[in-house]
Amino acid sequence: MCFSANASFIAGALLSIVGVASILKAPHRSQRLFAAIPLLFGVQQIVEGMIWLTLPNPNYGFAQKALTHIFLFFAQVIWPVWIPTAFLLLKQRTKRRMVQKILVVIGLVIGLYLFYCLLNYNVAAQIELHHITYLQEHPAVFRELGFVLYAIATVVPPFLSHIRRVWIIGLAVLVSYIISDFYYQHYLLSVWCFFASIISVTIYAVITHLRAMERRKMIIAKLD
């Protein structure tokens, strides 16, 4: 999390619990990628908590560098691929399924590009004004295009879902990005990931709704 180590660990623990509960409650295997989103965010927040602990101590330089790469791998490689894939695997209407597949391809392209940058360019983390900022030397020429593709892959999928109220998740993530960019521009990656992780708790409610629908279908089938 973007404010302190303790807050990161608390958020990470709570998100992990919600994530495990969501996975166990998912009525179908195809929904488990979607249900696992809070768990992955929980792991990411725990990693950032460890970054908080290692940054002030130069003796932990190697660990801090490794943790920074792990955090950025979650933020820049896993999410643009995982999110559109998770929504694709949810039951979708035929007309929207093709668009979801395109979003998966977009996410895969930007994820692979950012993974390449993570391996070949310097990255660092530092504490500034009670926040963590991540310094990356990615090629400037692709930054704006990369940002647009990343946003498309991670924000658009909820708006295409047929599941009732799931679009609210996408709207909340979009609003959280705008707020993060406006108030915390230099710490955008950390702050936005925090907001998105908190929003991911609502996935439990969606899974609960899907489970209830599945039970209702089973009862109706038995009555017929």
- Angstrom distances, CA of residue 143 to CA of 104, 136, 137: 20, 11, 10
Measured from the Cβ of residue 130, the count of other Cβ atoms closer than 10 Å reads 9
End-to-end Cα distance, the chain: 51
Judge contact between 108 and 46, C-beta under 8 A.
no
pLDDT range class, residue 71, cuts 50, 70, 90: very high
pLDDT higher at 203 or 218:
203
Q: For residue 128, which phi and psi values (nearest 5 degrees)?
A: -135, 120
Residue-wise pLDDT for 120-174, tens only, equals 999 988 887 777 888 888 887 787 888 889 889 999 999 888 887 788 888 888 8
Residue-wise pLDDT for 205-217, tens only, equals 889 888 887 777 7
Could you tell me what percent of the chain has a pLDDT over 70?
91
Mean pLDDT of the residues in the chain: 85
Residue 205 and residue 65: Cα distance in Å, rounded?
A: 36
Task: Pick the most confident of 20-34, 90-104, 159-173, 174-188.
Answer: 20-34
Q: Nearest-CA neighbor of 65 among 122, 4, 6, 131?
A: 122
- Angstrom distances, CA of residue 69 to CA of 17, 40, 125, 134, 169: 24, 15, 9, 10, 27
Judge contact between 40 and 19, C-beta under 8 A.
yes
Q: Which pLDDT belongs to residue 181?
A: 66
Q: Nearest-CA neighbor of 35 among 65, 15, 10?
A: 15
Q: Which pLDDT belongs to residue 20?
A: 96
Mean pLDDT calculated for residue range 68-97:
88
User: What pTM value is reported for the model?
Assistant: 0.87
Q: Which range, of 3-17, 96-110, 170-184, averages the lowest pLDDT? A: 170-184
Mean pLDDT calculated for residue range 91-95:
66
- Angstrom distances, CA of residue 85 to CA of 15, 82, 209: 20, 5, 20
Q: Which pLDDT belongs to residue 93?
A: 63
Q: Which range, of 59-68, 110-119, 134-143, 175-184, averages the lowest pLDDT? A: 175-184
The count of structural domains within the chain is 1
Residue 224 and residue 217: Cα distance in Å, rounded?
A: 11
Residue-wise pLDDT for 167-188, tens only, equals 888 888 888 778 766 655 556 6
Measured from the Cβ of residue 6, the count of other Cβ atoms closer than 10 Å reads 11
pLDDT higher at 38 or 172:
38
Run of H or E residues at 104: helix 94-120
Residue 44 and residue 48: Cα distance in Å, rounded?
A: 6
Q: Which pLDDT belongs to residue 69?
A: 96
Q: Which pLDDT belongs to residue 84?
A: 95
Run of H or E residues at 59: none
Judge contact between 48 and 71, C-beta under 8 A.
yes
What is the extent of the structural domain holding 128?
5-223
